Structure 1
Amino acid sequence: MATTQMTPEIAGDLRLLQYRKFLDPKQFYKSTGKKKPPKFFQVGEIVEGASEFYSSRLTKRERKQTMVDEMIDNERLHSYAAKKMKEIQASRSKVQHIRHKKRGAKR
């Protein structure tokens, strides 16, 4: 197998595969244990069968150039990311409020 030339699109897709466990909380993905991308890999295209025309086919509007573009356009992913961001901000604001309260009591 020949080495694949690393382009920004392929690098983004590999990074997306590396962090996919954070995108879908209910799906378990086994960790690869590697921090750098693999040296040898191949990129392909999934071709749907004729029986999947109405069931699991992406329409032309839903198809994008890269996996990253598809994930950016995914509505379910946006709602999950927004919910997690609100949780993080709420927990951080509570910690800052408690710290500010403690500082004011000491003065």
Structure 2
Amino acid sequence: MSRKIQLSAELDTGCSIETYDVLSSKVDLGKNATDKLMSKSVLNSNFINKSEVPAYELSKRQEKLHRREERGKTKGKEWFNMNLGEMTEEAKNDLLLIKMRGGLHKDRFYKHNDSDELPKFFQMGKVIDDPVDFYSDRVPKKQQKRTILEELIEDAKVKKFAKKHYSAIQTREEHRRKKLSQIFKNKKQSKNKIKK
């Protein structure tokens, strides 16, 4: 049994040396290509102006400061690294409304808030309706609002409660003002009697 052995130098790799001829290639090495390469380079025009070469590694102190900055951007592992919330005007109004929810519902009790400040870390979401409850428990698109505040303004129960609550506060304040004015009048009259 004789096998024919073929040397690797004789094998056809499918490549010709001409395809790898860089000098005669017609690749555009113009200004754009140079700029692209230089954008990735460490040695740029700013590097020449520096008085010393920047350190390859950061010092322990700089690493510590960097870690502290990164840690401040999220809530932590316990809160699944929740990011800082974007504080827009709508988000601010919604958060204030959630803080004051105790005054909106007469039949519910909400515990006191932990802090008076608005939270830095929060996430807003959208409730997606279950397709099973399409006819029974769904809010039509015309009635859906963008924010909690808009939703509460349109709610009839909340309107009625707020109006009743506001009128009660107004009558209480008016009664207090009348009492105070009566007290001041009585004091003034008693001073006038003493002078005479």
Same fold (TM over 0.5): yes
Counterpart of 1:32? Answer: 113
Which residue identity is paired with 1:21? G
Alignment of 1:57-68 (within 5 A): 57-68=138-149
Q: Residues of 2 paired with 1:15 and 1:101: CA distance?
A: 38
Q: Residues of 1 paired with 2:124 and 2:118: CA distance?
A: 13
Pick the aligned partner of 2:97 from 9, 16, 37.
16
Counterpart of 1:101? Answer: 182
Q: Residues of 1 paired with 2:177 and 2:119: CA distance?
A: 41
Which residue identity is paired with 2:135? Y
Counterpart of 2:154? Answer: 73
Which residue identity is paired with 2:159? H
RMSD: 1.7
Which residue identity is paired with 1:98? K
| Equivalent position SS for 1:85 | helix
TM-score, normalized by length of structure 2?
0.50
Provide the aligned length of Structure 1 versus Structure 2: 107
Return 93-102 or 56-65, whichever deviates more.
Answer: 93-102
Q: Residues of 1 paired with 2:88 and 2:145: CA distance?
A: 17
Q: Residues of 2 paired with 1:100 and 1:2: CA distance?
A: 54
Unaligned runs of 5+ in 1: none
The offset of 1:40, in angstroms, is 1.8
Once the two structures are aligned, what percentage of the paired residues are identical? 30
TM-score, normalized by length of structure 1?
0.86
Unaligned runs of 5+ in 2: 1-81, 190-196
Kindly tell me: are residues 32 and 90 of structure 1, through their superposed partners in 2, closer, same or farther at Cα, counting changes over 3 Å?
Answer: closer
**Which of structures 1 and 2 has the bigger CA Rg?**
2
The offset of 1:83, in angstroms, is 0.5
